[in-house]
Chains A and B, each alone.
Chain A
Amino acid sequence: MLPTPDLSHLSTDDFEVVYEPAEDTFLFLDALEADAETLKDLKPSICLEIGSGSGCLSAFLGNILGPSVLYLCTDINPHACKCTEMTGTQNKVFLEAINVSLAFPLHDRLKHNVDIILFNPPYVPTLSNEAVGAQSLGTIGGAWAGGMDGMEVTNTFLQYVEQLLSARGRFYLVALKQNNIPIIRQSMLNSHGLRSEIVLQRRAGIEHLFIIRFHREKQD
């Protein structure tokens, strides 16, 4: 078993303003660990995490894949960017944090160049205003407030995934049962030609969480 990244450098003050790893994060770590060998076989050169928060996921991925990979991390929250970089340092992985929404300034240059994309989005269904407000302020609510069906932020990013993914690239997404996973998968296939599987699912309190993996090629 791979160890969970060391977050001992982050304090309760940090977690007032930055999302603290919880069940969704841990399920994601388990999914990455289950796929560790195939991820290494991809020989990735560029990984991208959207909404990296504490940096826990990318640090974990960095421990799987090692230093021959560029780890780009974006977050709308500047405190999260700082925490991400610190978590990288603490876990001996260089995490490059960019304070931005999704990956817009990278679209031109990373077209079909990203080998692994991770996204634990704000997936909780809320009022639309709440999601839009939290995204524009870059506050901690932006880590969970997902607007209508919990899909407002996710849907925006899903439009760009295919353009970013390399030929053998993989995209991992956290979703909640209420996000309507069959519809997400069907529309990614129909609109973007991306196939998918459910890697793991788990009930945690009131949440029924899924990790979905998207890619181009057929898999056994």
Chain B
Amino acid sequence: MVRLITHNLLACHVKDCNTNNFPLEFKDAQIELRETEFNPEFVRGIIPKLEWKALVDTARELGDTTLPLELPEMLDDDFLKNLHHVLLEIHVEDGVMICANCKHVYPISNGIPNMLLAEHEIG
């Protein structure tokens, strides 16, 4: 399953595709929501590693509008819980991820993102 935390770390890696290659756009995403224990320490710790705009935009595309456009200065529990949900509980089980730049399609099947490239696409 591709959780949005992982999606937020994946960029297109086709040869010479270096700009506008992140975030990948979901298409035909089949979503499953799976409850996970709330761990505020983990969520706080991962915030500095996130590309905030990419996360918010992706969550909104998938129908979750709980995150603010700007990362708040005060990280209260409500905010952390919403972030926990977006990062860890929204699972994309099927569908594809498409590079906005080169249009390469990365399929997700049985919950596993297939990021393999053909020989001629490797940098």
A interface residues (Cβ-Cβ under 8 A, vs B): 43, 45-46, 67-70, 72, 76, 78, 81-82, 85, 94, 96-101, 104-110, 113, 136, 138
Contacts and interface: CB of A to CB of B under 8 A. Distances in A.
Most A CB contacts (10 A, CB to CB) among B21, B22, B111, B112 go to B112
A106 B11 CA distance: 6
A86 B11 CA distance: 25
11 contacts: A45-B49, A68-B39, A68-B41, A72-B6, A85-B112, A99-B113, A100-B114, A100-B115, A104-B123, A106-B10, A109-B9
Contacts of B36: 94
B56 to A, nearest CB: 16
Given A67-B42, A68-B45, A109-B11, A101 B116 contact: yes
B116 A96 contact: no
A97 B11 CA distance: 15
Given A82-B110, A85-B112, A98 B10 contact: yes
Contact of B51 (A68, A94, A96, A109): A109
A9 to B, nearest CB: 16
Contacts of B22: 108-109
Contacts of B45: 43, 45, 68
B interface, size bucket? 20 to 34
B5 interface: yes
Given A68-B39, A68-B45, A85-B111, A136 B119 contact: yes
Most A CB contacts (10 A, CB to CB) among B1, B49, B88, B111 go to B49
B17 to A, nearest CB: 11
A70 B6 CA distance: 9
Contact of B112 (A97, A104, A107): A97
B12 to A, nearest CB: 7
A104 B46 contact: no
B116 A99 contact: yes
Interface in B22-68: 22, 36-37, 39, 41-42, 45-46, 49, 51
Nearest to A109: B9
Q: Which 10 A-B pairs have the closest CB atoms?
A: A100-B115, A104-B13, A68-B42, A108-B11, A109-B9, A45-B45, A105-B13, A81-B112, A99-B114, A105-B115
Contacts of A108: 11, 21-22
B39 A98 contact: no
B10 A105 contact: yes
Nearest to B112: A81
Interface in B67-123: 88, 110-117, 119, 123
Contacts of B13: 104-105, 107
A161 to B, nearest CB: 17
A128 to B, nearest CB: 15
A68 B45 CA distance: 8
Contacts of A78: 112, 114
Contact of B5 (A43, A70, A76): A70
B107 to A, nearest CB: 10
A106 B12 CA distance: 9
A76 B114 CA distance: 9
A70 B36 CA distance: 14
A68 B84 CA distance: 12
